[in-house]
């Protein structure tokens, strides 16, 4: 079969479309360029705008009576939520700073407690040292007294011995003097 003899509906449709499209394009283009079309289009847009305003007002009133929030209500709530989130973040930051300060205070408190215990330990040691020094001082005084007593006793004994020896020497010297002839 010959391909030229076969009827192609799509080709016929495309051909018809091209011819009508160019004709209707010219007709519509001419009408759109006229002043009346612009005025008519302006009126249609105004009517559309008025219709949209009426629908918006009606739905706003209707939703208001049903206690359903409007766009404005939702945007107000959204801005309030954003403000609350910012405040929560600010509070979190403050809590972080406070927590850091608290942990620093806890560390300082631990160090202070350690210092207090160290000071108490040092005080106890100083008290022991003072007690030992006092005991040593008492012992020194006691030893000094004992030493003085012993020295005084020894001095007394030596003194008595020396006195006895002196008396013996005096007796011997008197005896020697009395036994010697007198040479004059």
- Give the model confidence (pLDDT) of 16-59 as tens digits: 998 899 889 888 888 888 899 889 999 999 999 999 999 989 98
Q: Is 70 exposed, middle or buried (0-12, 13-18, 19+ CB in 10 A)?
A: middle
DSSP 47: H
Q: Cα–chain-centroid distance for residue 69?
A: 43
What is the token pair recorded at 27? 């007709």
In terms of pTM, does the model score above 0.85? no
Contacts of 55 (CB under 8 A, 6+ apart): none
Beta strand residue intervals within the chain, DSSP E: none
Q: For every one of its 184 residues, what pLDDT tens digit does the chain have, with 9 covering 90 and above? A: 455 678 888 988 998 998 899 889 888 888 888 899 889 999 999 999 999 999 989 988 888 888 888 788 889 999 999 999 999 999 999 988 988 888 888 888 888 899 889 999 999 999 998 898 889 888 888 888 888 888 888 888 888 888 888 888 888 888 777 776 655 5
């Amino acid at each position: 079969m010959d391909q030229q003899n076969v009827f192609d509906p799509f080709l016929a449709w495309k051909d018809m479309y091209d011819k009508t499209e160019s004709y209707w394009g010219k007709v519509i283009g001419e009408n759109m360029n006229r002043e009346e079309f612009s005025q008519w289009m302006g009126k249609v847009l105004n009517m559309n705008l008025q219709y949209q305003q009426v629908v918006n007002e009606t739905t706003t009133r209707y939703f208001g009576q049903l206690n359903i929030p409007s766009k404005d209500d939702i945007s107000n709530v959204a801005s309030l939520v954003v403000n609350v989130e910012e405040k929560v973040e600010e509070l979190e930051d403050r809590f972080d700073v406070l927590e850091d300060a608290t942990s620093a205070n806890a560390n300082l408190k631990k160090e202070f407690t350690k210092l207090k215990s160290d000071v108490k330990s040092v005080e106890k040691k100083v008290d022991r040292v003072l007690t030992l020094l006092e005991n040593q001082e008492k012992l020194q005084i006691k030893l000094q007294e004992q030493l003085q007593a012993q020295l005084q006793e020894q001095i007394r004994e030596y003194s008595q011995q020396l006195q006895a020896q002196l008396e013996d020497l005096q007796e011997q010297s008197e005896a020697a003097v009395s036994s010697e002839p007198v040479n004059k």
